[in-house]
Structure 1
């Protein structure tokens, strides 16, 4: 199997998680926010960015059942049904959402408490039965902020710049091709199809002075994940997981300059617990130093290294397939 085929098969068996969900823009209590959720049959995770703070809640099965009884003592329905109702109606106009921020009052409380965001959610079940819910969100930690916002956004900016550069080169080639046709006597059959040669400097100046640029700045990033940008966010997260997984199998091949501290959104603490200096983290191979090149530099044959790497990837895939099939069989039996 080629590397592309191995990666494609890995993606087909990839288990969904909060990391791969795309942000969406909406309004909660007339406040523009970015919202991200992940629901299962027994629990959910929710993240909200109000452009001041990233808030997060992870509600497990036990917590959900307990909260349902407290808020809706007269309702008897399976948790699966209620979770599906919340997921389907989270941001619909038929529900009422109210945000309440709570901060620590040191004068009244001797114990310092973490600030919270409470969202009161009111809706109706089938038959008009009223149903209320409350989300209890707390400020996300640094790992969550990096994993869900900063790292993927910075990667997206870099990737979009790379694509823009390639498109500029393609436009220049298209202009050269058109000029060649004109020199050979070619003419445009319809006047409205005629274009002028692309001027990169003029284009960039026009974009900066356009109303669209002003609107993007005013909205502050509400449309950052709209359309194809949302697809790119998901692809960035999936690719990061794949490269992190390949790093484990290859025995330390780097996937980026920040990955010696962060792997798949989790901060690595080895450099801070083994006594190594803060300014001297364990060295990793940069993206420009592939495992093959490193092996060649040390005298190992390139083909043997590549073969061993592919064999390791295939063994790992087979092990994952076996585990997933075992899980499916157990679920079916259950």
Structure 2
């Protein structure tokens, strides 16, 4: 059996949506077709790509590595199907705002692909806080934004989530919680906690902590993701952060392991935002269509 487009497409949809049922609905196919494709893919890869849980499909470490390659494959295919005539027709300037986490861990690869695919489209990029992005969209200083849609609060904005990045508990290699059958926030509350503050991460974390009887024992608050990574890897604390910012090694070369809390904490959602009621320009439509094609989001079901 050889790898084909179907295997990759079904895998990516399931990874992004977290459930076979949701992926089947988005792709308008049967759940059994997706399940069969994933089993075939795992047989070809020689490793499990998902952990099957009551909450859905959770990527394994190997699955997370494969997802990066799978997204590149889908993007390459989409680029091959895009005619040169289409790329030449699109021109102009698009003003796009993005928050720190999005700009650092999500956008760079897409900016490169957009530049190659649409050489006549100029994207002016601005890194700002959520509040400044919301204000800029409402006052028409920016055309669109790429943001953590789970944080957007302004009712005057349309948001379109592209993917949800699962949040996991980060612990150093060999940590005693790795041997538990289940790890909940009660267990995490007994450990020294490293609280990331950038992009309202602390506020978001406290939203789900406050729904429980427990609170994290915050040892350090920092806006540096690399600092969090190093401190956790050195065994000085634990944290809960999303897969999007996860890397298995600290700058010192020490290993970071992950555990899915039981029950899972809310995922971090990433996507687009623009002012409600605004007429999308050709450049805005193109920008939106690019991301919908990469993340298998049906444009026909999105708000106009």
TM-score (norm 1): 0.24
TM-score normalised to structure 2 length? 0.26
Question: Rg larger in 1 or in 2?
Answer: 1
| Bigger relative contact order (CA 8 A; separation at least 6) | 2
